[in-house]
Homo-oligomer: A and B are copies of this chain.
Amino acid sequence: MLTRADCLAADARDALASFKQQFNIPQGVIYLDGNSLGAQPKAAMSRCAEVVSQEWGVGLIRSWNTAGWFELPGRLGNKLAKLIGAGEDEVVVTDTTSLNLFKALAAAVRIQQQDQPQRRIIVSERDNFPTDIYMIEGMIDLLQQGYELRLIDDALSLEQALTEDVAVVALSHVNYRTGAMYDMAAVTAQAHQRGALVIWDLAHAAGAVEVPLNAANADFAVGCTYKYLNGGPGSPAFIWVAARHQDRFWQPLSGWWGHNRPFAMADNYQPAHGIRRFLCGTQPITSMAMVECGLDVALQVDMADIRAKSLALTDLFIQLVEERCGQHPLTLITPREHGKRGSHVSYRHPQGFAVMQALIARGVIGDYREPEVLRFGVTPLYLGHADIWDAVEILRDILDSGSWDRPEFHQRASVT
């Protein structure tokens, strides 16, 4: 049986342990929800103050040039690219994940209309993050061109779903609920072999696992910066497009920032070459500028080291729950195999909602997802082995004592 001393010893050996000092974590909190909203890099407040006081307050409109606002989506994109196996000028930080999915979907659909016009099926997964499915539904409804959504129930169903009328496959690299991870290279190859293009949603992958976009020969990817990348609440998302596809289609959210000559005020649209055509309207500069603080922390570490620590901590979490909470009805729904999971661990519990509220009241902040799912995000940059021990110990105490069964923990006021 593991002990807390073992965990402290592991922390003492941990080469990433000092990175926690680059984040503000509130006193008394063990934060296991960095997969929903990442913690705050200490640099964020001063960066934000610089944007508001100096760039906006003093620079005013001049800051589009002097503070480099116009270059921000591409400059941050190039930094982010290094964390997801992408190249220079292949990523922009902009808009929201949902909107970027719409752009990627429109581009993929149009490329297929040119190359293989008979293909009218868009495949996704029933357990995909809901907004991804909603955006696909929205586009299908708008197009009125006979497109259909085909939802698979699990990874095994993909092979039979890939019929000759499939145009696009849109999947999340890491599942938001279970933490299950697809083999990006294998699934991309499988889809390509069957003539489909693939869009990867990296929301629960970017900054958490090694993402091999170019090595996997992927087509499109979107994702968010406010989870494992610690960009701040609702910080702008990103889109990656393989270089071979970038200039093939004029994506329909064609605002001024994606124009070839955005300040010429031309009266018709001409898309910029390359990834910049996936920009649309004016971006929220203050929120966007802080994205760099999170990226700059992550870029100090090798993603392989982040991944190794993530696997160590999730292994530890699973082992401790087995050892210490074994008699309680917790069902692990995250794959145990390293190659098949991301950086969070999820359990079903018949009273999952109340148990999570009791945990949060004790300072262990994870989150709850329908149905009955307790979700614990593991962020190697600001969590250690003893944190995992302490979190599981509080979970054990709540379960052993039954202290989750209080009226206030059953109230569903929560919106997230």
Kindly state the separation between the CA atoms of A221 and B142 in the bound complex, as whole angstroms.
Answer: 20
- Our pick among B138, B263, B365 for the contact of A416 (Cβ within 8 Å) is B263
Q: Which residues of B contact A268 (CB under 8 A)?
A: 133-134, 137
Q: Which residues of B contact A102 (CB under 8 A)?
A: 252-253
Q: Are B234 and A282 in contact (CB under 8 A)?
A: yes
Q: Are B282 and A284 in contact (CB under 8 A)?
A: no
Q: Which residues of B contact A106 (CB under 8 A)?
A: 142
Q: Which of A131-189 contact B (CB under 8 A)?
A: 131, 133-135, 137-139, 141-145, 151, 177
- Our pick among B99, B250, B264 for the contact of A138 (Cβ within 8 Å) is B250
Q: Are A233 and B51 in contact (CB under 8 A)?
A: yes
Kindly state the separation between the CA atoms of A48 and B285 in the bound complex, as whole angstroms.
Answer: 13
Q: Are B96 and A65 in contact (CB under 8 A)?
A: no
Q: Are A265 and B369 in contact (CB under 8 A)?
A: yes
Closest B residue by C-beta to A236: B284
What's the least CB distance linking A163 to chain B, in Å?
A: 21
Q: Which of A207-222 contact B (CB under 8 A)?
A: none
Copies in the complex: 2
Q: Are A98 and B256 in contact (CB under 8 A)?
A: yes
A337 contacts partner chain B, Cβ-Cβ < 8 Å: no
Q: Which of A32-40, A79-87, A315-323, A385-393 touches B?
A: A32-40
Q: Are A253 and B99 in contact (CB under 8 A)?
A: yes
Chain B CB within 10 A, most for which of A70, A255, A288: A255
- Our pick among B263, B266, B365 for the contact of A415 (Cβ within 8 Å) is B263
Q: Which residues of B contact A285 (CB under 8 A)?
A: 232-234, 287
Q: Are B36 and A254 in contact (CB under 8 A)?
A: no
Q: Which residues of B contact A127 (CB under 8 A)?
A: 267
Q: Which residues of B contact A40 (CB under 8 A)?
A: 52, 56-57
What's the least CB distance linking A115 to chain B, in Å?
A: 16
A269 contacts partner chain B, Cβ-Cβ < 8 Å: yes
Kindly state the separation between the CA atoms of A69 and B141 in the bound complex, as whole angstroms.
Answer: 30
Chain B CB within 10 A, most for which of A26, A137, A267: A267
Q: Which of A233-268 contact B (CB under 8 A)?
A: 233-237, 250-256, 259, 262-268
A64 contacts partner chain B, Cβ-Cβ < 8 Å: yes
Q: Which of A274-324 contact B (CB under 8 A)?
A: 280-288, 290
Kindly state the separation between the CA atoms of A49 and B413 in the bound complex, as whole angstroms.
Answer: 27
Contact status of A254 and B60, CB under 8 A, knowing A45-B53, A48-B52, A286-B290: no
Kindly state the separation between the CA atoms of A312 and B281 in the bound complex, as whole angstroms.
Answer: 33
Q: Are B142 and A65 in contact (CB under 8 A)?
A: no
Q: Are B290 and A233 in contact (CB under 8 A)?
A: no
What's the least CB distance linking A93 to chain B, in Å?
A: 11
Q: Which residues of B contact A45 (CB under 8 A)?
A: 49, 52-53, 57
Q: Which residues of B contact A233 (CB under 8 A)?
A: 51, 55-56, 63, 69, 284-286
Chain B CB within 10 A, most for which of A145, A286, A413: A286
A9 contacts partner chain B, Cβ-Cβ < 8 Å: no
Q: Which residues of B contact A369 (CB under 8 A)?
A: 265
Contact status of A255 and B96, CB under 8 A, knowing A266-B130, A290-B286: yes
- Our pick among B31, B61, B235, B251 for the contact of A284 (Cβ within 8 Å) is B235
Kindly state the separation between the CA atoms of A49 and B61 in the bound complex, as whole angstroms.
Answer: 22
Q: Are B253 and A52 in contact (CB under 8 A)?
A: no
Can you pick out 23 interface pairs between chain A and chain B where the beta carbons lie within 8 Å of each other?
A26-B58, A44-B52, A44-B56, A45-B52, A45-B53, A48-B48, A61-B367, A62-B365, A65-B414, A95-B95, A95-B96, A95-B99, A98-B280, A102-B252, A131-B256, A138-B252, A143-B144, A177-B265, A224-B282, A226-B282, A232-B286, A237-B281, A263-B416
> Which residues on A are within 8 Å of B, measured CB to CB?
24, 26, 29, 31, 33, 36-37, 39-40, 44-45, 48-49, 51-53, 55-58, 60-65, 69-70, 95-99, 102, 106, 126-127, 130-131, 133-135, 137-139, 141-145, 151, 177, 224, 226, 232-237, 250-256, 259, 262-269, 280-288, 290, 360, 365, 367, 369-370, 413-416
